[in-house]
Each structure stands twice: as structure tokens, then as C-alpha cells.
Structure 1
Amino acid sequence: MSNALKYTIRFTTYLLWALMIPGVAYLASLDFKISVALVGGIVGLGVVALCLLNFKLGYYIYITITLILPMLEKLYGTQISGGVVMDLLLLCTLAGSIFDQRKTGIKKIQWGKDPYLICTYLYILALMIQIANPYGANIFAWLFFMRVVLRAYIFLYLGLRVFSNREDVKTFFKYWLTICTLAAIYACIQQHYALLPFERAFAAKYPELFKTTIILAGIRIFSFMSDAAAFGIIMACNIVVIAILLTAKFATIGISRKLLLLVSLALHFLALGYSGTRTGYVMVPVGMMLFFLANMQKRNTILIAMGASLVALVILFGPFHGNPTIVRVRTAFLGKKQDASMDVRDENRHKVQPYIYSHPIGGGVMTTGVNSLKFHRGHQNANVQTDNGYLRAALETGWLGVLMLVAQFFFLIRMGVRNFFRLENELDKLFMIGIAAAIFEISLAQYTQEASTLIESSIMYNAFIAILLKMKYLYTLNA
């Protein structure tokens, strides 16, 4: 980007900020909402300028705004077109990365040979075919769906540009664990106050958005994110990553940072419990299992496994019967004789099995769940609540779609484990096995949630993929 353009953008930004002060003061006296919209517009222009000038900073701005946008909705008291905001920020950051000439090592990636990337191409091909699906072709539904898919892959591409060395990876984990720890703290505040006043007002105004949040056991805490399920999945993945980082030697991670990680781990555990996400409860031991298998020769690993098992036994069988959070955790592992939600899910799966067998290319995108009522009324799968990422893929994109989805998980986990054994730096190794364990967790969570496509968890998932790919081609193959 030329210096003239940089100076022009900076001058325009400063000028707009200077004009905002008297302008907002005058408009605020006329109408509060107009003043808020004006401030938002000016701040937005400043953010856009930052994304164009520094795409790495724009990457983190995009993540931050995406995570806190649901809370801004609740503060403002009305729904905001979040997709438009996300697309604008993402495109500005992409434009900034295109004009930026710094070396990022992205050319070292074997775009035509990497197994994960080949599966991704085939998955995109399966989605492209859906535009002509005779069982459920709707151009508007297809465009809406592909917009979300394209957004995820643009974010993945930006991650491949952002993570150009080890320091970039470390910076991301510092940022990610910090903002998620703040989310965990906010979740504890919500649990203490049973949601803040502006959140209760928003829930009263849009009760349909909180159908899965308010349950018999109480309120499922969602922090400043959009959904308790996405929040719980992120907390579960981070718990495993933090626990793995705590196994590092003191020469790699000092005692002061380990104490901070311990505090963060405790907050994450509390937040996961308050989220009421039973899938998240199961994800944690599954993720740790992969780490234990990769480190069975180490004494610390065995000691941690024994300690974690003891804590789990206390939670599952200890004399705690009045706490709704502990009761919900126990039902995730021990189950109940009568679980209405699981019974409904099993019944739905049995009903749609004949359809899956007779429709090898699926019934078309957006033909299940709530979206089907908007785009495909009258479709055989309309309003079928899959509650399962694999089942939705099988119903909408057929056998090829679900096979490519499973293959992507397999190659990502394999990549993470291989990077772990091939890298020599201890911190790099822990990052790799931590990411592999988190993706293993997400692959499991897909059975009960659409874990990899929820807005917030999708950000984490695609950032992790970008790190795996760059570490593979920068330090294990082309070093």
C-alpha cells in the first residue's frame, strides 16, 4: 500500500474523529438512537481503516467484534445485522492482506497435494453441485449457505497469511486465551446475577432466541457470545489446551504464567459448568485422552491423568445432589432412565434414515432445521431438527458431503499429531497436540451439535486449522 494512501486514510480518520465530538453532542440532544448510529458509523470507518492498513490487526479486530457483537445487540436492545458487519470487516481485512507485500510463507503450502486441502476442494464441489439438486434446489438458499461457507474459508485464508512464524502463533494463543478468560469471568458474573438487567430485557423482547437457554435446571449461561452451546464448546476446547500447556517445563512456561493459566483453567471449568452444555462436559475427557495417548511415556502425564480421574470420580459420585450444574454434568456421563431430549433426537434420526439411503446427493442445502421453513416449505425434511452436524450433512449434501466432512477431521487430527512428533521446540509441540485434541473434541461434538459451524466456534476451528497447516509447511516439511 502506497504511503500517499496511508496518509490519506489516516488524515480522513482523524478528521472524522474531530467532527464527531460536536456532531454527536448536537444530535444526542435531538435523538439518542441517531447519535448512537452516528458514533457507530464513525467508529466503524476507523475500524475499516485499521483493517486496510494492517491486516494482522484486522484479523484480531474481526475476531473480537464477532465475539462481542451479541452483547452489543443486547446493550442496544435490538437485533443487529451481524452477518453484514462480519462480511464487511472480513473483506476489508482481505483487501489489506492483498495489498500488503510482506512475506508470510504461504507459498510453501502444497495447495494441490495436501490431503486436507484436497478434501476441502471436494467438499466445496459437493456444495456447488447442490445448486442443481433436483430434490431441493433454491438459488436464494444456496447463495445464503455459500456466503457462510465462503466467509469461513476467507477467514482460514487470512489465518494462513497471519501466522507467518512461531511468534504469530504464540501471539494468537495469548490473545485467544485472554479473551476467552474474560468471557469466562463474565459468565461467572452472569451466573451470580442470573443475567444482567439489559440481558433480561433483551430476552423478554426476543423470547424465541432463548428457547434453548432457559431450561428447567435454570439459565444456561452464554457470556457475551450468541449461544450457550457455542460458548460451552469453546470453553471445553480451551480447557484441554490450557491443561496441556500446564505440562510444559518451567523453562518453557515460567511459574508466574503457569499460575495465570491455572486461574484461567479454573474459570473455564466454572464457565463450562454454567453453560449447561452436556456435549462440552464429554468433550473434555475425550480431548485429554488424545493427549495422554501421545504422552504415555512421561511421568507427569500419568500423574495428571490420575488426578483428573480422581476429580471426575468426585464430581460424578460425590455427595452433591442439590447443585443443578453438577446434576447436569452427571446426566451427560451417567445418563437418565428417561431423557426426553435424547429420546426425541434418536427418534428423529431413525425417521430420516430411509431418506439418507435413497438420496445419495442429499435433499439440498438449507432443507433441514429452522432455515427450511424460510427457504424450503413443504420439503420432506422441512423443520427436521438434526442436532447433529453429520446428520445434517448427510441429509443436505448426501454421502459425499458427510464423507468429506469426516475426512477433513481425520486429516486435521493426523496433521496435528504428526506435527507434535516431528517438531522439537516444546511449546510448539504442546500447541500442536493441544490443537489436535481440540479438533478431536469438535469432531465428537458434531454428533450432538453443529460444533464446527457455529459462529464463534467456527472462528476457533478455522484459526486452529491455519496454525496446523502453517506449522506443517514452515517447520516440519520445508524447514
Structure 2
Amino acid sequence: MKKISSPFQASKGSEQLKKPLNLGLLILFGIFFSLIISKSGFTAGIAFAALPFLFFFLYQLFTYPKLGIYSTIFMGFMVNGIPRYVSDAPVGLAIDGILFLTFIALLVKKQKIDWSEASSGLTIVSIIWMGYNVLEIFNPEARSFEAWFYAMRGVSLYMFLAVPLTFVLLKERKDLDLYLNLWLIISIIGSINGLKQNIIGVDSFEQAWLDAGAAKQHILFGKLRVFSFYSDAGQFGASQAHTLVVATILALQSGLSLKRKIFYFTAAFLSLIGMFISGTRGAMAVPAIGFMTYFFMSKNFRVFGGGVLIGGIVFYILKFTFIGQNVYAINRMRTALDPNDASLLVRLENQKKLANYLASRPFGGGVGSAGSWGLRFSPNSFLAQTPTDSWFVRIWAEEGAVGLTVHLIILFYIAIQGGIILWNLPDKNLRQQFLAIHAGTLGIYVASYGNGILGQMPTGILLYVGWALMFKAKKICGLSYPFSKQAKTIL
């Protein structure tokens, strides 16, 4: 007769500690862990404790390489917030490391990888843009190779690495769903954290960051510009506006379950609040342009006309009335439409200075010569001392009129080709998902004129992965889409 085992008699994990060897190893680990903390500090102790988790992650990455894409997206959100809590945390090159390790994981896999999946016009323009940035090493105006190395990562390297990896690894509709779900879930967490900062206040680590100099940009007229766990309020506001566009368009899909609709509308509502409490005026451009793009691409020109009308009413209220003037967020947004706004006048004056400086420098002052990298590596140079504020002004300053022209051609190609791909995509719900990505892209384009958004994290990695998925939309939809046809389009 078979003996029936009782769950109360089953051996538990704690029973293993009765074995002398296991107990001894645990004691040795505790002693070693304590010595590391006492000799090298708390950060080193945490790094040591994290080693088992790191080895487990690497095992999973080399077993399932697409984990690299999703991990990069996660780190894109977190990489700027972690140093506020662990100042010595080695996260600066985390995104680079994950992307390169993903490539290595593909190269060592036993199964043959079909790299022809990456044959796309998007891959070509990624290579062109990376190539131009490599040539910037030889720019005679460049002050520092180290500055180039750090700055070019967000400008071109992440796009160069993420695009082919996405083409090769994310092939199915469920991959698209996971990409969007991960995006919205982390954005919701960011919104809630932002609301906590706005209602309760910042924690001690965030306060220390503000006291170290960030308060100058984040506390205006006694009001906190909320930043959540993002790099700053500008990036938080733009990212929340980006999520607002994507989540709202996703919520308009037909045949959604009630649970899914609640998820999308919750993400949209919280991100709308996040956009306002960030105090980021330029973020308004993302929903303004994003929703207009969606209305046009939806081919319902009655809806498009209605959207234009609503946009006009909102513009009129902000520009020509004082409705909501006592609400800080609305008042802050209203100043974006004031042609005499002091901040706008300073930006225009800086652009005049840059125009004179760059008139004899068609290739710019070198990648990494402006902004925070310029202040770090060449603090006394003209570009380091002249704020660029805008993503496109930064590209112009660092890579010249030639680099800005190349960059804009690439961005216009992505927008136009993406629109062509999606115009007649037969699967309506799949088309709706990609329209969300496409509309958000154009919104970020326009907002990047006022702020340095496009290549910053998490916006940059979300765009690069989204573009690659959009360019293979017909393949995901089950249709053939040969490279030869796409090559003819780009040429």
C-alpha cells in the first residue's frame, strides 16, 4: 500500500540548516558579508549580495536573449533614479552592458539566428547615423574623446544596437503586447511616485539631490516640479505625455475586455496628472501633435476635424483667457504660449550666439561638447557655457548643420515610412497599437524642439524598440514584406 505523505511532515528549507556544512557556509557568508561592509562600505556589500541575482540574470539572458530588450526598457526608466539612493551604484553603463550582452547571447546560441530579419531601411539609417557620429571623433573642434564616448551613447549607439536586436528577437504579437504593457506599468508606477512627491513630499534622498543643485530647476515660486524617479522634471513630464498618447489610443481599440480598458484608461489618466504636476510646458506638444496624428491616420476626417476644433479651443483658452489661472499647472502651461516669456527670450538669444559660433563650423563643436557632458569634460568652452535646452539645438551645436540635416532626414524618413506601412494595415487592432507608437513618435519629435527629450531615457529606448516593431508590422500581421520593396521606398 502506497504511503501518503503529509505536508506537515515534508522537509522545509529551514531543515537544511540542521546540516553542519550548510550552517557553516551560511555563517561564513555572513562573516564575509560583514567584513566587506566594514572595509569597503555599504554599497560594496550590496554589490556582493547582488552577485547571485546577477548570475541568475545572466543565465536567463543567455537562455532567453529577448530578456535583454525588456531589461533595457526597464533600466531606461530606472537608470537615472537609482544613483539618488545608491550614489556609487555602477548603473551608468548598465544599458550599454545589457545590449552588448544580448548580442553576445545571440552569437553563442546553438540555434542559428536569422540576421536577415534586421534587413530594413531602419537598420540602414541607424548605421548611417552611427557612422556619422563615429566620424565626429575626427572633428577638429572636439575637445575630448571621453566626452564623445559618453555622449554618443544616447545620441546614436542605443539606436544602433536596439534596432537590429528588436528586429531579430521580437517577432510575435505577444512581444508587442509585452513591450506596451511593460511601458505602461512602469509609467503608472512613475505617476504614483510623482503624486507621492506632490502630495506628501520628497524623501530624504530626493531632498539631498535637490539640495545639491537640482532645486534651481525643480522648485519654482515655491512649487515643486515633480520628477519621480526620472532624470528631471522635463523628462518626467514628456514621458508622461508620451504615455498619455499611447495609452489613450490603445484604449480606443475595439473588442477590449473591461479589465484591459480599465488598465489603459488608468494609465492615461495618471499620466495626464503626471504631465501637469511636472510643470513641463513643452510636454503639451506631445498630446497636441500625437492626437492630431492619430486623428489623421485613423482616416476619419470628421473625427480629425473635431480634434482640430478641440485643440483650437484649448489653445484659445490658454492663450486668450485667464480660465484656471489660479491653478499652478495651468498657469505654468499658459506661459509656454507667451512670446515675451523670459525663458523663451533667453533661449532665442542663446540660439543667436550659437548661430554665430557655428557659422564657420559645419560639423559642430564635437559630440559631448555641449550640455552636461560639456560642463564635465570642457567646462570653460563656449558650448559648455551656452545652454542648448533643445534636443535639435544640441545636435546642431555638437554635430553642426551637416549633422542636424542628416538627423532630420532620418527622423522624417522614419515618420513617413512608418505612416506608409500603417496606412493600409489590415488588422485593425494591430494597426491601432502601431498608430499609438507612431502618434507618440511625432509628438516627441515636436516636443524635442523645446527640450532635450528624444535621446534621453526612457524615451529613447521606447522609441527605438517601437520603431523596429512598427517597421515589421506587416510581418507581425502575417504578410510578406521583402527588403527589396522597402529599399526601393527609401531610395
TM over 0.5: yes
Cα 1:308/1:443, change in 2 over 3 Å: closer
Q: What is the match of residue 54 of structure 1?
A: 64
Is the Cα contact below 8 Å between 1:244 and 1:434 reproduced in 2? yes
Q: What is the match of residue 3 of structure 1?
A: none
1:472 positional shift: 4.8
Matching residue within 274, 282, 286 for 1:271: 274
Give the AA of the match of 1:247.
L
What is the CA RMSD across the aligned residues, in angstroms?
Answer: 3.0
1:236 positional shift: 1.1
Matched, 1:145 2:151: yes
Matching residue within 293, 297, 300 for 1:297: 300
Q: What is the match of residue 63 of structure 1?
A: 73
1:399 positional shift: 2.2
Cα 1:21/1:188, change in 2 over 3 Å: farther
1:258 positional shift: 1.4
For structure 1, list consecutive stretches of 5 or more residues without a partner in the other structure: 1-16
Q: What is the match of residue 409 of structure 1?
A: 411
1:78-123 per-residue CA deviation (whole Å, 9 max, x = no partner) reads 2433223333333222222333466876514434xx2x44433332
5 Å-filtered alignment, 1:16-415, equals: 22=27, 25-26=30-31, 27-28=33-34, 31=38, 33=42, 34-76=44-86, 78-100=87-109, 106-111=115-120, 114=121, 116-136=122-142, 138-148=144-154, 149-204=156-211, 207-216=212-221, 218-249=223-254, 251=255, 253-297=256-300, 317=321, 319-332=323-336, 334-335=337-338, 337=340, 339-415=341-417
Is the Cα contact below 8 Å between 1:361 and 1:399 reproduced in 2? yes
Output the CA distance in 2 between the equivalents of 1:352 and 1:463.
33
Give the AA of the match of 1:419.
I
Structure of higher CA gyration radius: 2
Output the CA distance in 2 between the equivalents of 1:449 and 1:117.
26
1:291 positional shift: 1.1
- TM-score in terms of structure 1 length: 0.84
Give the AA of the match of 1:372.
G
Q: Secondary structure at the match of 1:55?
A: coil
Is the Cα contact below 8 Å between 2:235 and 2:453 reproduced in 1? yes
Q: What is the match of residue 489 of structure 2?
A: none
Output the CA distance in 2 between the equivalents of 1:143 and 1:123.
15
1:175-207 per-residue CA deviation (whole Å, 9 max, x = no partner) reads 211221121122112211121233224433xx1
Is the Cα contact below 8 Å between 2:143 and 2:369 reproduced in 1? no
For structure 2, list consecutive stretches of 5 or more residues without a partner in the other structure: 1-21, 483-491
Cα 1:451/1:54, change in 2 over 3 Å: same
Output the CA distance in 1 between the equivalents of 2:75 and 2:134.
30
**Number of positions where the alignment pairs a residue of Structure 1 with one of Structure 2:** 453
Cα 1:101/1:209, change in 2 over 3 Å: farther
1:284 positional shift: 1.0
- TM-score in terms of structure 2 length: 0.83
Give the AA of the match of 2:229.
F
Is the Cα contact below 8 Å between 2:148 and 2:368 reproduced in 1? yes
Cα 1:23/1:424, change in 2 over 3 Å: farther
1:410 positional shift: 0.8
Output the CA distance in 2 between the equivalents of 1:223 and 1:177.
15
Cα 1:262/1:19, change in 2 over 3 Å: farther
Is the Cα contact below 8 Å between 2:106 and 2:113 reproduced in 1? no
